[in-house]
Amino acid sequence: MIDILALSPLPDTLTPSLAEHYAVHVGLDTAPLDRIRGLVGGGAMRLDAGLLARLPALEIVAVHGVGHDGIDKAALAARGITLAITAGTLTEDVADLAIGLWLAVERRIAVNDRAVRGGGWDVPLARRASGRRIGVFGLGAIGRAIAARAAPFASELLYTARSKKDVPWRYVPDLRTLAAASDALFLAAAAGAETDGAVDAGVLAALGPQGVLVNVARGSLVDQAALIAALDAGGIAGAGLDVFADEPAVPAALHRDTVVLSPHQGSATHEARAAMAAMVVANLDAHFAGREPPGLVR
């Protein structure tokens, strides 16, 4: 059987099907590194040239997710190593969660739930979600899915992306202008040097004291210290966050009634995880059969 290395324990949805096809080794300490031909890991895994040098037979990196910002893609390319992700398997679920987080902030769903569980009933007024100007930063598959869900709520839907797309929404060329034009700002852009810390103090100031930030992309897109400062000062109205700067650490300063927190659960549905597991195996099977993996990253 072909030897596969998992950099960390695999989810239960993936382990059985992967073990049917491959000899799976978990962790670097006991794996036969000179025989490893495939590497499997989550979207947050780190893979640099140093680790690649320890894997001389490696042919493919199969990501259980869509994020690959922690992978040295230049080092992969230099070795001719294939990179594949589970493209399209989690789009709908991440978009669903984004809308849920936004509504939970606007309508105080989480904090009101806590109040009722504690015996309370009289709570502050919430804010109407319908009729707001909604901005989406990043219009890949997930960004489009968020925009399609948000559009029925919106008085206007706007987006910022690398280029103008053939969509019915208004294109705004830069993030700060998008924030200034939005009442709710959704982050769906890919992580990387280009977007690292993109939501800084200036963007948050542009979003303004009535604005809500929703992040289902990566924690690295937001200057977390600037976000906390904006919340402290009333510079924005609130935030719905599924991702953080240093997961799983979440600063106590984000534990407040105006912020709804989620532990990076965008793809955490039975349906998405089953589809992700199937695509990891499909990517590996295709590669070792000499075919192009369905989730190939070009």
142, 216 Cβ separation under 8 angstroms: yes
Return the C-alpha torsion angle 262, 265, 51, 286, nearest 10.
-170
Q: In sequence order, what E strands does the chain have? A: 3-6, 23-26, 36-42, 60-64, 82-84, 132-137, 154-160, 170-171, 184-187, 212-215, 238-241, 259-261
Q: Is 247 a catalytic residue?
A: yes
How many residues appear in the chain?
298
Tell how many helices (H) and how many strands (E) occur in the chain.
10, 12
Of the candidates 227, 173, 177, the residue with the CA atom closest to the CA atom of residue 199? 227
Environment class of residue 75 by beta-carbon count within 10 Å: exposed (0-12), middle (13-18) or buried (19+)? Answer: middle
Peptide bond into 248 cis (omega under 30): yes
- With residue 8 as reference, give the H or E element that holds it: none
Question: Which one is catalytic: 132, 149, 176, 218?
Answer: 218
Handedness of CA 258, 223, 245, 64 (dihedral sign): positive
Lookup: tokens for 71: 């992978």
Burial (CB count within 10 angstroms: exposed 0-12, middle 13-18, buried 19+), residue 170: middle
The question of whether 264 is a catalytic residue gets the answer yes
Q: Which of 37, 64, 108, 264 is catalytic?
A: 264
Q: Taking the alpha carbons of 163, 194, 145, 258 in that order, is the dihedral positive or negative?
A: negative
Calculate the dihedral angle through the C-alpha atoms of 20, 24, 26, 30, rounding to the nearest 10 degrees.
140
- Which of 247, 271, 291, 292 is labelled catalytic? 247
What is the set of active-site residues? 218, 247, 264
